[in-house]
Chain A
Amino acid sequence: MAFTTMRAGLAVAATLMATTALAQDYPDRSITMVVPFAAGGPTDTVARLVAERMSADLGQQIIVENVGGAGGTLGAGQVAAAEADGYTVLLHHIGMATSATLYRNLAYSPADGFAPVGLVTEVPMTIVARKDLEPADFPALMAYVKENADTITMANAGIGAASHLCGMLFMQAVDAPIVTVPYKGTGPAMTELIGGQIDLMCDQTTNTTEQIKGGTIKGYAVTTPARLDIFPDMPTVAEGGFPGLEVSVWHGLYAPAGTPPEAVDRLATALQAALADPGIATKLAELGTAPSPAADATPAALKAKLDGEIARWKPIIEAAGVYAD
Chain B
Amino acid sequence: MKTTIYSARKIITMNPNRPETSHVAVRDGRILGTGTLDELAGWGPYDLDERFADKVLMPGLIEGHAHSMEGALWSFTYVGWFDRMDPDGKVWDGVKSVDDVVARLKEAEAALGGEDEPLLGWGLDPIYMDNVRMTRADLDRVSETRPVGVMHASGHILNVNTRGLELAGLLKPGQNHPGIPVGDDGLPTGELKSPEVMMPAGKHVGLDRSFLSSDPGALRNYARLCVRSGVTTSSDLGQQLDDDLLKMFLDVTGAEDYPVCMVAFRINFGLSPKELVDYAASLREQSTDRLELGRIKVIADGSIQGFSARIRWPGYYNGAENGLWYIAPDQLAEIYERALAAGVQVHTHTNGDEATQLAIETMETALRKAPDADHRFTLQHCQLASAAQFRKMARLGMCVNLFANHHFFWGDEHYNLTVGPERALRMNACNTALSEGVPMTIHSDAPVTPLGPLFTAWAAVNRRTASGRIQGAHECISVEQALHAITIGAAVTMKMDDVIGSIEVGKRADFAVLEEDPTQVAPEALKDISVWGTVQGGRIFEAATI
Same complex origin of A and B: no
Interface residues of A (CB under 8 A from B): none
Interface residues of B (CB under 8 A from A): none
